[in-house]
Amino acid sequence: MSGEAKQDGTVETLRGVVVIVVVGVALGLAFNALGLASRPPRGLSWIRQVEKMPSLEDLQPGSVLVPAPALQRRVAPAFALVGTAWAGGVALRDTAHAAPGRPAATAGKKAAAKKTAAPLKKALVTAKPAAKPVIAAPATVAVPAPVKVDLPFVPDLDQPIEVKLANVKKFFDAGAALFVDAREAPEYAEGHIAGALSVPFDEAVKNPALLEPFKQAGKPLILYCSGGDCELSKDLARNMLADGIRKVLVFTDGLPAWKAAGYPMDAGTAKAAR
């Protein structure tokens, strides 16, 4: 075989290898894109495009006033009657003047009436003034002033919304959000945000029914994991959104930032949503 023929064969071989490699890469990218588009996403993390989530802090048209909790008011009368001291309840009637429409009394009867009334009038004149009713001072009812908490407005988007520590703490203090820990159960048991529910991402993938209670939550959801490169909270947020749940926030700084700030923590076995 001549040298020219060998060279042509080598070129064809290389060309075939290049074609195979290019087709393989294209098929791999296409398959990975389909995986990322699936619910739950199954693409390779090293080939994923970094998703830029909208920030809650950048989506604020205004603030929401959270009404104060129902105030416990003590019901008490404004005035309390402590006691009374009245003079003898004797009603005097001037018998010298007959009521209209009645015949006048006889002279004898008038004299008898005067004789009976004289001692009684004298007793009332010399009697001590009647004591006035003692009225207690108005009862004071301590009513705490309404507590105003300015919470961020949470839009109803079909994608996760990033939230920072300051606003996460506002939601926590007002009890205005449900906190969801997307880490594995053993990590949750070691320590988690106080009151957070445990919904490990892998468990939610295996059992989608775990997400059902959150459809009637009535509050925004704040998902978190270990911060940094941890993607569990983002993946769980995408699953929730694909399942029709809205107002899903992702605390991207995660548990390390919360713990470093000295905010309330709990430890113990997993507590799931009901």
Give pLDDT tens digits for 111-162. 554 555 555 455 444 545 555 555 444 455 455 554 456 898 999 999 999 9
216 and 241 part of one domain: yes
Res 215: pLDDT: 92
Cis geometry, peptide bond prior to residue 40 (ω within 30 degrees of 0): yes
Phi, psi of 64, deg, nearest 5: -115, 130
141: alpha, beta or left? (left if phi > 0; alpha if psi -120 to 50): beta
223 and 113 part of one domain: no
* CATH number of the domain that residue 206 is part of: 3.40.250.10
- The count of domains in the chain is 2
Among candidate residues 252, 261, 215, the one with its CA nearest the CA of residue 233:
252
65 and 88 part of one domain: no
In a domain, 154, yes or no: yes
Radius of gyration of the chain (CA): 43
In a domain, 171, yes or no: yes
Res 140: pLDDT: 53
Provide the domain limits for residue 262: 50-70+145-266
In a domain, 2, yes or no: no
* Tokens linked to 253: 């700084």
154 and 195 part of one domain: yes
In a domain, 6, yes or no: no
64 and 174 part of one domain: yes
Determine the Cα–Cα distance for residues 272 and 274; give it in Å rounded to an integer. 6
In Å, how far are 159, 223, 226, 227, 246 from 252, measured between CA atoms?
14, 8, 8, 6, 18
Residues of the chain with pLDDT under 70: 1-8, 33-51, 62-149, 270-274
SS3 149: strand
Res 230: pLDDT: 95
89 and 225 part of one domain: no
Res 31: pLDDT: 75
Residue 40: strand pairing partners: none
In a domain, 5, yes or no: no
* Tokens linked to 90: 């004797």
Res 3: pLDDT: 57
125 and 171 part of one domain: no
SS3 12: helix
In a domain, 19, yes or no: no
